[in-house]
C-alpha cells in the first residue's frame, strides 16, 4: 500500500514480510531497505510482520525494488491484505500450518521416549540406525527452513535465530553420526540425535504457538475490517424513487442517497434523510447503548442499523470514511516502533555474534578442563539454542498490538507507540471546558437591552449577525430567537474576529457581538448594563455584548452551559490518582470559576486558567511543561488543535462527523471516540498497563538469556531443556501481552 503524497512530501509504503523470526531479522530487513535509493526511513515490526518505508516520491519502481531487497535479504515480500486465517485451511481436520510441527513431533517422540523411560528405570533406547532414520528428516527436511534462513544471514554477514539453531542442532546431529560410524560392531554408544530433533521440534512448536498468538493480537484490526459492507442499495434518483440498485460500496459518491434495511450495516458515512431508527456504534465508539437516529442526524459507516428502514445521504465512503480513518489509525499505532524498542534493536544487532563467541568459549573451556569432546560440544550447543533472541523482538510490539487493539474496542484510539509510552508518565491533565467537560450546547439564559430599546428587535439583530455561524453561542442566539417566533434579515459583510466575536452590517448599521474583553479593548463601556453583566458573571454565566461600531452598547447576553454526565467523577478519579488538574478556558474568570466549582476543580489551588484565547492555549501548555510537568491536554480536537499538538500527549474527544473526526485523529496522540470525560482516565490506565506489559516482557526476555546462557555454559542445561526454555520464552511473552485483552475501562 502506497500513500499518495502531495507535491514535495514524502510518501509511505507498507509491505508485509514473511519468514522473520527474531529481533536480528528485524535489523537485517531494516538495513536492506534503508540501503535503497530514495528511502528516508524504514521501520520493521516483528509482531505484525510488516515494514513501513518512508521515501521520496516519484520513483515508480521503488515498491518493486523494496520487495526485491526483502527477498534478497532472505525473506518473503507479501501484500498487506494477504492475511488469511490458517485455521480455515485444513488437511485431515488439522490446520495445514500445523502439519510440519505434528510430523516433527511424531518422529521425535520415539527418540525422546528413552529419556522418559530412564526416570522409571527402563531402557528403551532405539538402535543407532533407527535414531538416524527418525532424526535425519527432522533435521534436514522439516528443519530445512532453518538452513535457508541461516544461509541468507551468513551472506548478509549477520546472525539470527535460525543460524544459532542450525549450528547447534547440526553439531548435535553430526556428533551423533560420527560416534555411530566410529563405534565397533555391537558396541552401544550414547548418541544425541534426540537432542537435535527435539530442539527443532520445540522451536517449530514455539513458532507455531507464537503465530497463533500474533493472530489474536490483530483481532481488533480484523474486527474493524469486518464492519465494512461490500454492497449498498443506491437510490438513483434520490428520495424520489423507491426502487434501488445494488452497487459496490467503493462506487458511492458524496451526495448519493442509499437505503439501509433493518439489521444491516450503514454502508457509508452520511446523514439520515428519511426514517427513524437506532444505530449500534459499539464497535466504533465503545458505546454499548444504541443511539437514536432521525432525519438530520449523522450516521457512521460500519455501525449497525436497528429495526427501522432509513435513507441516508452519503457524505463520505471508502478511504475517506470515519471507519477507514479508525482502521488506519490503529494500523499506524501497531506498525510503529516504541522508543524503547530501538534500544532493544541495538542490543539484538550484536546479540547473535556475542552468543557465538560465548558458545565457542564454552566449548574451549570445557575441553581445557578435560571434559569429553561430546560433552563440551553439547554444552556449547545448549548455549546456542537457549540464547535465540526471539522474545526480544516480540516483547514490545506484542504488548503494543494487544494494548492498542483492546483500547480501540472501547473507543480509545492510540495514534502511535510514542504517545502510548509517554502517556503513562503524565502528571498534569489540562482540560478545555466547552464541549469537553461541559455539554458544549450553551443556552441563552437572559438578555438585557439598553433603556429605550425593544428587546425583540435587539434579539433579531443579534440573530442576524449569528445566523450563518456554527459557534455554540451563535446557535444559542438563533435558537432563542426562533423560540420567540422572531424573524430577522440577513447580515452583510460578516467578519469573524478569532477569539473575540463577530462584526457585520444589519439594516445599514455596523454591529459588534462579542466578549467583554473585546469591548474593553475597543474602549466601549456598558453603562447602565454593567449591573446586569456583573449579576450574570456572579452566577457563572458567559457574557457577550451587542454594540454598534464605536458605541453605544445595545445589550448584554448571558449564556449558560451544563457539565457533562460523569465529568465530576472523572475529575475526582484523576485527582485520586495524584494527577495535577487544570481547566483552560476562554471564559471570563467568574464564569470559569463557577463552572470549575460545579466540576470539582479548585480555583484557589490554581486549577483554573481563564480568559485564554484559542491561539494562546498552546502557550499555556508550554508554560506548564516549563514547570517540569508532563502534560496531557484534553480538548475537542478542532478548536484546540494547537494545544493538543503542543502537549506531551493530546487527548482529543473526537466526533463521528467527518471533518472534526479527521482533525481529532491527526491533532492528538490519543482520540476518544466518545465525548465522555471518564475515558480520559481509561486512556491513561491502558497506557500504563501496556507500558507495564512491555517492561514485564523485556524483563522475561532478558531473564531467559541472562540466566539461561550461564546455566547452559556451566553444563546445568542440556540442549533439549534449552530448546524448551527458548520456545517457552516467546510463547510466554506473547501470552503475557494477550492478558491485556481482558482490560475493561
Tell which residue, 364, 432, 450, 393, has the closest CA to residue 583.
432
Residues with Cβ within 8 Å of residue 68, at least 6 apart in sequence: none
d(CA 147, CA 530): 87
Instruction: Classify burial at 139, counting beta carbons within 10 Å of its beta carbon; exposed 0-12, middle 13-18, buried 19 or more.
Output: buried
What is the DSSP annotation of 96-110? Answer: GGGHHHHHHHHHHHH
Alpha-carbon separation of residue 361 from 130, 298, 347, 711 (angstroms):
33, 69, 20, 14
Answer for the pair 588, 610: CB distance below 8 angstroms, yes or no.
Answer: yes
- Is the bond leading into 552 cis (omega within 30 degrees of zero)? yes
Sign of CA dihedral 211, 212, 213, 218: positive
Largest CA-CA distance found in the chain, in angstroms, rounded = 125
Tell which residue, 16, 48, 53, has the closest CA to residue 32.
53
Alpha-carbon separation of residue 38 from 4, 54, 389, 631 (angstroms):
16, 9, 31, 37
d(CA 122, CA 108): 19
Tell which residue, 731, 704, 23, has the closest CA to residue 386.
704
Sign of CA dihedral 696, 697, 701, 702: negative
> Catalytic one among 256, 432, 561, 648?
432
The dihedral region occupied by 550, where left means phi > 0, alpha psi between -120 and 50, and beta the remainder, is left
d(CA 260, CA 351): 57
SS3 156: coil
Active-site residue flag, 648? no
**Residue with grid cell 465512503, as numbered in its chain:** 317
What residues act catalytically? 432
Amino acid at each position: 500500500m502506497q500513500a499518495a503524497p502531495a507535491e514535495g512530501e514524502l510518501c509511505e509504503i507498507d509491505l508485509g514480510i514473511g519468514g522473520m523470526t527474531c529481533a536480528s531479522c528485524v535489523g537485517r530487513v531494516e538495513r536492506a531497505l534503508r540501503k535503497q535509493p530514495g528511502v528516508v526511513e524504514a521501520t520493521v515490526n516483528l509482531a505484525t510482520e510488516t515494514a513501513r518505508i518512508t521515501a521520496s516520491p516519484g520513483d515508480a519502481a521503488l515498491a518493486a525494488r523494496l520487495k526485491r531487497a526483502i527477498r534478497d535479504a532472505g525473506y518473503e515480500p507479501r501484500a498487506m491484505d494477504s492475511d488469511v486465517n490458517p485455521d480455515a485451511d485444513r488437511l485431515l481436520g488439522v490446520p495445514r500450518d500445523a502439519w510440519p510441527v505434528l510430523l516433527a513431533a511424531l518422529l521425535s517422540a520415539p527418540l525422546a521416549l528413552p529419556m522418559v523411560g530412564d526416570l522409571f528405570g527402563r531402557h528403551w533406547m532405539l538402535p543407532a540406525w533407527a535414531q538416524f532414520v527418525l532424526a535425519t528428516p527432522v533435521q534436514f527436511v522439516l528443519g530445512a527452513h532453518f538452513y535457508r534462513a541461516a544461509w541468507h544471514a551468513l551472506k548478509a554477514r549477520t546472525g539470527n535465530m535460525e543460524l544459532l539453531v542450525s549450528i547447534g542442532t547440526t553439531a548435535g546431529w553430526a556428533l551423533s553420526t560420527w560416534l555411530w560410524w566410529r563405534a565397533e560392531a555391537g558396541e552401544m554408544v550414547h548418541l544425541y540425535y534426540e537432542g537435535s530433533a527435539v530442539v527443532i521440534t520445540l522451536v517449530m512448536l514455539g513458532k507455531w504457538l507464537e503465530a497463533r498468538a500474533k493472530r489474536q493480537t490483530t483481532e481488533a484490526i480484523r474486527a474493524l475490517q469486518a464492519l465494512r459492507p461490500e454492497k449498498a442499495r443506491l437510490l438513483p434518483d434520490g428520495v424520489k424513487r423507491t426502487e434501488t440498485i445494488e452497487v459496490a460500496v467503493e462506487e458511492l459518491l458524496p451526495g448519493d442517497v442509499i437505503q439501509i434495511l433493518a439489521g444491516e450495516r450503514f454502508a457509508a458515512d452520511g446523514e439520515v434523510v428519511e426514517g427513524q431508527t437506532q444505530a449500534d456504534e459499539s464497535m466504533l465508539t465503545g458505546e454499548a447503548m444504541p443511539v437514536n437516529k432521525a432525519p438530520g442526524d449523522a450516521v457512521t459507516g460500519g455501525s449497525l442499523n436497528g429495526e427501522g428502514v432509513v435513507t441516508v445521504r452519503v457524505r463520505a465512503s471508502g478511504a475517506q470514511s470515519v471507519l477507514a480513518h479508525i482502521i488506519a489509525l490503529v494500523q499506524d499505532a501497531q506498525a510503529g516502533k516504541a522508543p524503547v524498542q530501538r534500544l532493544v534493536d541495538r542490543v539484538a544487532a550484536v546479540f547473535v555474534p556475542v552468543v557465538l563467541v560465548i558458545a565457542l568459549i564454552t566449548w574451549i573451556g570445557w575441553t581445557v578442563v578435560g571434559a569429553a569432546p561430546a560433552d563440551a560440544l553439547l554444552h556449547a550447543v545448549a548455549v546456542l539454542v537457549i540464547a535465540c533472541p526471539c522474545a526480544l523482538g516480540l516483547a514490545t510490539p506484542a504488548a503494543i498490538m494487544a494494548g492498542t487493539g483492546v483500547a480501540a474496542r472501547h473507543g480509545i484510539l492510540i495514534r502511535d507507540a510514542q504517545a502510548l509510552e509517554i502517556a503513562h508518565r503524565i502528571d498534569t491533565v489540562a482540560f478545555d471546558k466547552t464541549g469537553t467537560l461541559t455539554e458544549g450546547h450553551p443556552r441563552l439564559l437572559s438578555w438585557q437591552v439598553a433603556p429605550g430599546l425593544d428587546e425583540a428587535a435587539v434579539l433579531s439583530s443579534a440573530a442576524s449577525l449569528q445566523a450563518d455561524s456554527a459557534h455554540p453561542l451563535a446557535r444559542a442566539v438563533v435558537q432563542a430567537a426562533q423560540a420567540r417566533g422572531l424573524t430577522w434579515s440577513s447580515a452583510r459583510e460578516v467578519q469573524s474576529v478569532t477569539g473575540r466575536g463577530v462584526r457585520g452590517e444589519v439594516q445599514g448599521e455596523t454591529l459588534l457581538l462579542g466578549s467583554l474583553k473585546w469591548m474593553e479593548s475597543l474602549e466601549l463601556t456598558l453603562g447602565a448594563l454593567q449591573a446586569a453583566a456583573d449579576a450574570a458573571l456572579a452566577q457563572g454565566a458567559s457574557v457577550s455584548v451587542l454594540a454598534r461600531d464605536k458605541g453605544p452598547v445595545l445589550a448584554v447576553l448571558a449564556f449558560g452551559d451544563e457539565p457533562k454526565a460523569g465529568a465530576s467523577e472523572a475529575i475526582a478519579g484523576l485527582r485520586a490518582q495524584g494527577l495535577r488538574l487544570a481547566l483552560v478556558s476562554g471564559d471570563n474568570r467568574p464564569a470559569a470559576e463557577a463552572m470549575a466549582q460545579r466540576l470539582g476543580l479548585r480555583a484557589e489551588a490554581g486549577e483554573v486558567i481563564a480568559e485564554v484565547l484559542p491561539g494562546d492555549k498552546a502557550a499555556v501548555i508550554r508554560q506548564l511543561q516549563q514547570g517540569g510537568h508532563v502534560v496531557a491536554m484534553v480538548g475537542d480536537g478542532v478548536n484546540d488543535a494547537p494545544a493538543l499538538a503542543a502537549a506531551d500527549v493530546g487527548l482529543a474527544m473526537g466526533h463521528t462527523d467527518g471533518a472534526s473526526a479527521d482533525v481529532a485523529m491527526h491533532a492528538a496522540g490519543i482520540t476518544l471516540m466518545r465525548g465522555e470525560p471518564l475515558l480520559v482516565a481509561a486512556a491513561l490506565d491502558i497506557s500504563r498497563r501496556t507500558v507495564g506489559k512491555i517492561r514485564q516482557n523485556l524483563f522475561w526476555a532478558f531473564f531467559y538469556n541472562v540466566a539461561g546462557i550461564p546455566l547452559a555454559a556451566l553444563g546445568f542445561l542440556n540442549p533439549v531443556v534449552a530448546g524448551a526454555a527458548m520456545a517457552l520464552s516467546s510463547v510466554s511473552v506473547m501470552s503475557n501481552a494477550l492478558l491485556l485483552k481482558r482490560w475493561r475501562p
